[in-house]
């Protein structure tokens, strides 16, 4: 109550003076008018911004929902299809040279499993180019009788790939015995030239689910596949349209970024277009918004009311602040400084007047500024390191700001730049590995000291054991190259004597632009990695490397075949000569190409070992974990191939075991000749061998395939029953495990050229 009386008393005093209140009134009028003007401008601007933001959010929401649906449903369909393709029954259905009863039985299960995996799947077509047939849900037909010739011609133009391919939408497909009109979207899985799996999706179901968000008459959602055909759209007129020459689609393809938005002038007016291209399976998503969306009157009234409240509050606060500013501002400033503890000494506060107090506080701030300046220098160094890393990586999503780049560029004295990389190969000592940061620190300081007179050197911090340097110099001539080389050798000798560390250095190309140092960085890495394949203490300048072009670095397939042939023939001399020639060819290649060729040779040996039953001998063939020297890779392959030769020699010495295996297999065939599940796969499971190995061993030792032997055994029994007994055809079919009588007739006629009745009448 006493405080309130004091406030009222002070106000009355100021009122009699009139000066304070006249100033406050004038300031209030000026501030109110100015605030109302700003408020009106902000209100209209806010409405426009909200409108644009809502439209953009709505368009992006449609694209994200469509992408989410595709990435979930289509991704699930693709994953399940690839899972089925990797299974042996599906592999046999699509790629085998024969179509037998087990394959027919398995095809029904495969068809139902794939179709039931997703509600959008209406039908499937299993195309086997080896047998020239197409298997649908209802029947099996030849390629000549297949209804969709355009689809077959399109598949013939494709290259086998693990990536599923969308075929253009179409209006009719073969269903059962009749051609029905139905809009479908076909997904082609063509991973092997011998066959293809075609999954037909119901276009109407797909389009209705992927365009659920089409709740605005002002917005169109268009989805285009990688063949430029419309997969789905809010407007049904777009169905089956080819967008190859569509002006809007061509403009989207000309955009540099995969995701973005722009305005488009069309007959309907200026439209907002949002797009995302090259998404999952090469799909492009387009959202087109017409400029007819407006806010309702109730929304504008509510928005105006809210901003009016804000205007009143802001005006009141500004008036209060104005009164405080006009009423003893200096004392208020002094009080504020004391509150934030810039000078918390009570004696100073009470003994000094306002201006002396502010002067004391300013001196205190100067002292604090001096201490913060050092912190700022540290921050600038970290920012410089970040900018240098961004320039080295040269990522489109992480470009430095122009002002930061210009400041960094101006900090260099010369116009030429070169990146070089230093790698330290430390002994496998846990204590040494824990001190890797200390080793990097020593390398940075020693390198800068040794090269101080040659160029201005800056280190770039990395999280890898390698140390990056950026050299800046006036001219890279012969003398400069010699200085770099001498400094690198002195550094190698110093660390070899002090810590027995092997140092390798790779110098990149010289560039005259700071924003092009990523090229110098890549060439420095290539020089270092390629040099370290030959010696762990190499010093390599990229411009001195005589690396052939990528077209002149082919894989030596002929030598690859010689190596596998030498292993197969257990010829040690030819094996050693082949490996020597292989490494003589690739030793001049670039590092990444060498590793790819080594991996290719590793894959070739793995296939050979698997085919010959030697794959269990090698369980750790990961080249990445192997030694880095090319000579060590060579020794590794020689040891491995010698082991293969030894293993094959032992297999040949025990060839009698194969004879026992052949007898066992033939006995199993005789014991299971009436079993409906009799097949090569069943026999392989019972003898505990892989199907491929069993087939190879049997054919190598008998001269005929195991499938032919099983078929011959069945035919011998059928011949005897037809010629010597009166057993009915149905009973013979059931006894030998045929699924249907028709399939028995097909099987018999395929192998004899006549029906069972014709054979019986001829030989009875």
Residue 396 pLDDT grade (very low, low, confident, very high; cuts 50, 70, 90): very low
- The tokens for 460 are 């770039």
Distance CA 78, CA 72 (A): 10
Distance CA 645, CA 572 (A): 8
**464-507, pLDDT tens digit by residue?**
778 888 888 888 888 888 888 888 888 888 888 876 778 889 99
DSSP state of 142: E
Tokens 């009134």 found at? 25
- The tokens for 422 are 């230093």
278: left (phi over 0), alpha (psi -120 to 50) or beta: left
Distances (CA, A) of 647 to 303, 561, 570, 603, 614: 84, 19, 9, 19, 7
> In the predicted model, what is the mean pLDDT of residues 658-666?
79
Distance CA 434, CA 436 (A): 6
- The tokens for 620 are 């750790």
DSSP state of 131: T
> Is the CB of residue 490 less than 8 Å from the CB of residue 498?
no
**414-429, pLDDT tens digit by residue?**
888 999 989 887 655 5
Give the residue, 567 or 356, on which the prediction is more confident: 567
- Give the pLDDT confidence score for residue 248 in this predicted structure: 83
Residue 353 pLDDT grade (very low, low, confident, very high; cuts 50, 70, 90): low
Alpha helices in 281-353 (DSSP H): 297-326, 329-339, 346-351
- The tokens for 654 are 């025990």
Please state at what angle helix 203-210 crosses helix 19-69, rounded to 10 degrees: 160
3-class SS of residue 277: coil
Highest mean pLDDT among 307-311, 328-332, 364-368, 475-479: 475-479
pLDDT surpasses 80 at 714: yes
Range name among 124-138, 345-359, 472-486, 748-762 with the lowest pLDDT average: 345-359
Tell whether the torsion through CA atoms of 613, 618, 623 and 628 is positive or negative: negative
Distances (CA, A) of 254 to 191, 221, 261: 31, 20, 13
- Give the pLDDT confidence score for residue 435 in this predicted structure: 67
SS (H, E, C) 82-116: HHHHCCHHHHHHHHCCCCCHHHHHHHHHHHHHHHH
Backbone angles phi, psi at 45, to 5 degrees: -65, -40
pLDDT surpasses 80 at 329: no
| Residue whose C-alpha is closest to residue 187's, from 200, 175, 196, 174 | 200
Residue 338 pLDDT grade (very low, low, confident, very high; cuts 50, 70, 90): low
Look at strands 269-276 and 259-266 and give their pairing.
antiparallel
Distances (CA, A) of 208 to 10, 204, 624: 74, 6, 48
**292-308, pLDDT tens digit by residue?**
544 555 665 676 677 77
Number of other residues whose CB lies within 10 A of the CB of residue 398: 11
- The tokens for 250 are 């061509």
pLDDT surpasses 70 at 349: no
Burial of 60 (0-12, 13-18, 19+ CB in 10 A): middle
Helix, strand, coil shares, percent, the chain, to 5? 60, 15, 25
3-class SS of residue 201: strand
Distance CA 532, CA 591 (A): 9
Distance CA 542, CA 423 (A): 16
- The tokens for 579 are 């490996």
Residue 211 pLDDT grade (very low, low, confident, very high; cuts 50, 70, 90): low
Burial of 142 (0-12, 13-18, 19+ CB in 10 A): exposed
Distances (CA, A) of 639 to 78, 395, 545: 41, 43, 31
CA gyration radius, the chain: 41
Distance CA 219, CA 287 (A): 7
pLDDT surpasses 80 at 120: yes
- Give the pLDDT confidence score for residue 369 in this predicted structure: 78
- The tokens for 244 are 């190859």
Distance CA 171, CA 241 (A): 12
pLDDT surpasses 70 at 14: no
Give the residue, 38 or 624, on which the prediction is more confident: 38
- Give the pLDDT confidence score for residue 430 in this predicted structure: 44
DSSP state of 464: S
Range name among 184-198, 314-328, 432-446 with the lowest pLDDT average: 314-328
Tokens 């040779």 found at? 601
- Give the pLDDT confidence score for residue 294 in this predicted structure: 46
| Residue whose C-alpha is closest to residue 249's, from 217, 210, 220, 284 | 284
> Is the CB of residue 560 less than 8 Å from the CB of residue 599?
no
CB contact burial 501-535 (16+ within 10 A = b; e otherwise)? bbbbbbbbbbbeebeebbebbbbbbbbbbbbbbee
Burial of 12 (0-12, 13-18, 19+ CB in 10 A): exposed
- HSE value, Cβ hemisphere, 13 Å, CA-based, for 501: 26
| Residue whose C-alpha is closest to residue 557's, from 588, 534, 577, 586 | 586
Number of other residues whose CB lies within 10 A of the CB of residue 578: 23
Please state at what angle helix 741-752 crosses helix 756-763, rounded to 10 degrees: 60
DSSP state of 736: T
Range name among 40-49, 218-227, 687-696 with the lowest pLDDT average: 40-49
Backbone angles phi, psi at 27, to 5 degrees: -65, -40
């Amino acid at each position: 109550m006493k405080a309130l009386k004091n406030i009222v008393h002070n106000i009355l005093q100021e009122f009699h003076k009139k000066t304070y209140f006249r100033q406050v009134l004038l300031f209030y009028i000026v501030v109110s008018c100015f605030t109302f003007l700003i408020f009106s401008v902000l209100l209209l601007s806010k409405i426009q911004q909200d409108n644009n933001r809502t439209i953009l959010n709505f368009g992006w929401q449609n694209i994200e929902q469509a992408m989410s649906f595709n990435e979930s449903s289509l991704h699930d369909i693709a994953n399940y299809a690839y899972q089925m393709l990797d299974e042996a029954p599906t592999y046999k259905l699509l790629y085998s040279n024969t179509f037998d009863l087990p394959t027919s039985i398995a095809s029904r299960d495969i068809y139902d499993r794939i179709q039931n995996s997703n509600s959008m799947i209406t039908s499937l077509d299993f195309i086997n180019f080896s047998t020239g047939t197409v298997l649908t849900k209802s029947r099996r037909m030849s390629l000549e009788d297949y209804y969709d010739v355009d689809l077959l011609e399109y598949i013939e133009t494709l290259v086998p790939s693990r990536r599923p391919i969308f075929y253009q939408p179409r209006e009719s497909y073969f269903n059962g015995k009749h051609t029905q009109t139905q809009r479908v979207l076909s997904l082609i899985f063509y991973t092997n030239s011998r066959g293809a799996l075609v999954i037909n999706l119901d276009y109407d179901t797909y389009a209705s689910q992927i365009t659920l968000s089409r709740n605005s008459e002002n917005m169109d959602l268009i989805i285009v596949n990688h063949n430029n055909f419309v997969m789905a759209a809010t407007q049904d007129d777009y169905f089956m349209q080819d967008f190859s020459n569509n002006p809007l689609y061509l403009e989207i393809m000309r955009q540099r970024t995969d995701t973005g938005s722009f305005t488009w002038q069309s007959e309907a007016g200026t439209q907002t277009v949002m797009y995302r291209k090259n998404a999952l399976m090469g799909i492009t998503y387009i959202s087109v918004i017409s400029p007819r969306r407006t806010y309702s009157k109730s929304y504008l009234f509510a928005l105006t009311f809210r901003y009016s409240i804000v205007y009143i509050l802001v005006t009141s606060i500004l008036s209060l602040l104005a009164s405080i500013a006009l009423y003893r501002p200096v004392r208020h400033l002094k009080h504020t400084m004391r509150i934030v503890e810039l000078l918390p000494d009570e004696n100073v506060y009470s003994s000094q007047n306002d201006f002396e107090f502010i002067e004391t506080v300013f001196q205190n701030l100067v002292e604090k500024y001096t201490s913060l300046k050092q912190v700022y220098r540290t921050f600038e160094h970290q920012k410089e390191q970040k900018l240098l890393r961004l320039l080295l990586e040269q990522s489109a999503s992480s470009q430095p700001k122009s002002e930061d780049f210009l400041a960094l560029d101006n900090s260099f004295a010369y116009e030429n730049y070169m990146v070089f990389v230093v790698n330290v190969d430390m002994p496998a000592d846990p204590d040494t590995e824990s001190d890797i940061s200390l080793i990097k620190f020593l390398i940075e300081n020693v390198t800068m000291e040794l090269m101080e007179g040659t160029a201005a050197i800056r280190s770039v911090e990395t999280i890898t054991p390698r140390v990056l340097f950026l050299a800046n110099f006036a001219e890279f001539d012969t003398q400069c190259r010699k200085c770099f080389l001498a400094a690198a050798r002195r550094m190698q000798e110093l660390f070899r004597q002090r810590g027995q560390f092997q140092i390798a250095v790779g110098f990149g190309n010289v560039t005259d632009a700071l924003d092009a140092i990523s090229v110098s960085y890549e060439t420095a890495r290539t020089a270092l990695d390629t040099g370290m394949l030959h010696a762990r203490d190499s010093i390599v300048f990229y411009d001195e490397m005589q690396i052939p072009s990528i077209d002149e670095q082919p894989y030596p397939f002929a030598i690859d075949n010689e190596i596998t042939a030498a292993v197969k023939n257990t010829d040690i001399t030819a094996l050693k000569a082949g490996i020597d020639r292989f490494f003589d060819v690739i030793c001049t290649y670039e590092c990444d190409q060498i590793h790819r060729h080594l991996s290719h040779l590793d894959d070739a040996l793995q296939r050979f070992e698997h085919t010959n039953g030697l794959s269990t001998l090698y369980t750790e063939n990961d080249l990445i974990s192997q030694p880095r020297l090319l000579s060590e890779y060579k020794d590794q392959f020689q040891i491995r191939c010698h082991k293969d030769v030894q293993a094959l020699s032992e297999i040949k010495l025990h060839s009698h075991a194969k004879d026992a295996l052949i007898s066992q297999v033939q006995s199993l065939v005789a014991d299971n000749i009436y079993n409906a599940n009799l097949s090569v796969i069943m026999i392989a499971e019972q003898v505990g061998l892989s199907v491929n190995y069993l087939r190879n061993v049997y054919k190598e030792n008998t001269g005929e395939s195991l499938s032919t032997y099983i078929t011959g055994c069945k035919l011998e029994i059928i011949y005897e029953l037809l010629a010597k007994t009166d057993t009915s055809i149905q009973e013979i079919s059931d006894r030998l495990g045929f699924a249907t009588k028709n399939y028995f007739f097909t099987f018999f006629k395929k192998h004899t050229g006549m029906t069972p009745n014709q054979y019986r009448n001829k030989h009875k």
